Structure 1
C-alpha cells in the first residue's frame, strides 16, 4: 500500500475571521492588530457604506450588536458612526474602540504586513450606492502595499463582477452558503472571473472538494472553529479556512 503524502501546513491559509475576534472585539483595529501579535498572516473582514458614502468595516447591517448605539449603517453618517463605542461590550479594556474606516484598516495592514480577504456585503442601500461602495473600495485598494496579498469575496455575483471590471488583477472569490449546495459553483465563480471558491463548511463533502480542486479552483472554507475539522479539510485538499480560533493553530500553519 502506498502511503499518502502528508500536506505541508505552511502552504495552508488560516484567516483570522473578523480579526482576532476571540481576543478582541470583532472588526476593530484592536482585533486586527492582534492578528500580527498572534503570528497569523491573513485576516478576513467586511465592508459597508455609511449614509454619506464613507466605507467602514462592519459585518452586520446595523451597529446594534457590536456597539452601544443603534441604527442601520446605510442610514448613519460617518460622524454618527464614530460616536459609537465598538469595544466595551467585549471588555472594559477595549472601551473606546471605534468602527474603523477602510483607510484606517489599510494603514494597519501596511504597517503590520498582513494579507487580507475583504468581503463585499450585499448592499441594502440600492444598486447605485452599491456601485459607490465598489468604486470607492477599488480606488482605496490601490494603497495596499504590494507585499500584501489581497482576496476580494462576495455572495453577490453582480457586485463581484463590478469589482473585477475595475480591478481585473485582484484575485476574487465567490462565497456559497449551505443552501446553495445544488448550484454549479464552478460555473458561477467562472462567470464572475473568480478562480477561488469560499464554501460553507456545513454540508461540504470531500468529493466536491476534490472535483473543484481538479477543475483548478482554490478553496477557502468558512467558518471552521475546530482544529480537528480544519485538519480534515486540509487533508481533503482545501487551501485555507476562515476561523475564529486562528490563534490556537500550531505555528506551522501561520507561516503562509
Structure 2
C-alpha cells in the first residue's frame, strides 16, 4: 500500500528557499576534499571544511538519537564502524556517545552544534530511526532552520510522522515507495499531492538478482511536471557527474567534494 506524508496541499519546490539555487552540490556526510584524506564522515571538522574551505552551501547528513534524546549526526545505528567505541546509539546515553571519537580523533557532533557552527549552511537530513523524529523537529525550531533543511527517510511512516509534527514549512524528499511508483508508472492522482518536493535517489537499485535503473526519463518528466527536484547519490566519478548534469538532474551528493566542485563550476552551476 502506498503511503506518504499527506498535507492539505503540496507546495512546489520553487516555494522553498532551500531550492532557490540552480544546482545543489552536496557534501555527503561532510565529504572529503581528495582521495588521499582519511574520511572523518559526519564530523563537525568535515562539515566546516566543506563550507569554510571549499565554499559548499549544501551538506548531507543522517541523524540518530541517543537513549536520552540527544540528536547526533551519524549514518550508522552503531558506533562501531567509524568511532573508537561500540554500541547502538539508541541504547546509549549522550554522556557515553560524546566520548566516542570518529577515526579516533573527532567527537560525534550533535545537530544543535552543527546548526550553531554553520548558521548559513543548508542540510539534507535523513531520519534513520523513529526516536530521532521529535529531537529533529525541536532542533529545527530551536535554530529557526526551517528554510535551510530538506528532510528524507527510507520510511514513509517516519516522514509522515515528521510532517505531522513539523508542519508544511520544511521541504521533504520522497520516500522510496513514491520514487518507485513515479519512476515506472504513469502519474497517479494520489501522488500529485504527496507533499514532497524532491526525489533523492541512486542511479539504480538492485532488487533480487536484477539491477533496475531508478533515474529514468520518465522520473525526470514527472519531477518537472510537479515542480520537484532530483538529487542523485552517491556519485564520486567525474564522468558520471558530467553525465548526470547533462541529463538534467538538480543536484549531486558526493564524497569527492573537490571533484564535484570542479565539475559543477565547469558547467556554470557552482554557487
TM-score tier, shorter chain, comes to: 0.7 to 0.9
Unaligned runs of 5+ in 1: 1-9, 89-94, 124-129
The correspondence of residues 4-15 of structure 1 with structure 2, limited to 5 A, is 11-15=22-26
Give the 3-state SS of the residue equivalent to 1:18 in structure 2.
Answer: strand
Distance in 2, matches of 1:139 and 1:57, equals 15
RCO higher in structure (CA 8 A, sep ≥6): 2
Distance in 2, matches of 1:30 and 1:223, equals 21
Aligned length: 227
Quick check: which one's strand share is greater? 2
Q: Normalization by structure 2: what TM-score? A: 0.75
Q: 1:192/1:205 Cα in 2 relative to 1: closer, same or farther (>3 Å)?
A: closer
Give the structure 2 partner of residue 160 of structure 1.
159
The CA RMSD over aligned residues, in Å, is 2.5
Task: Please point out which of 9, 28, 31 is paired with 2:46.
Answer: 31
Distance in 1, matches of 2:149 and 2:121, equals 9
Distance in 2, matches of 1:119 and 1:145, equals 18
CA shift for structure 1 position 147? 9.7
Q: Is the 8 A contact 1:174 1:189 kept in 2?
A: no
CA shift for structure 1 position 56? 0.8
Deviations 1:192-218 (A, max 9, x none): 511211111222344234322333221
Q: Normalization by structure 1: what TM-score? A: 0.79
Give the 3-state SS of the residue equivalent to 1:174 in structure 2.
Answer: coil
The correspondence of residues 1-256 of structure 1 with structure 2, limited to 5 A, is 11-21=22-32, 23=37, 24-36=39-51, 37-88=53-104, 95=105, 97-110=106-119, 113-121=120-128, 123=129, 130=130, 132-144=131-143, 149-167=148-166, 168-176=168-176, 183-184=181-182, 192-202=194-204, 203-216=213-226, 217-248=228-259, 249-250=261-262, 251=265, 252-255=268-271
Give the 3-state SS of the residue equivalent to 1:19 in structure 2.
Answer: strand
Mean Cα deviation higher: 221-230 or 197-206: 197-206
Distance in 2, matches of 1:173 and 1:77, equals 30
Deviations 1:70-105 (A, max 9, x none): 1111111111111111133xxxxxx2x111111111
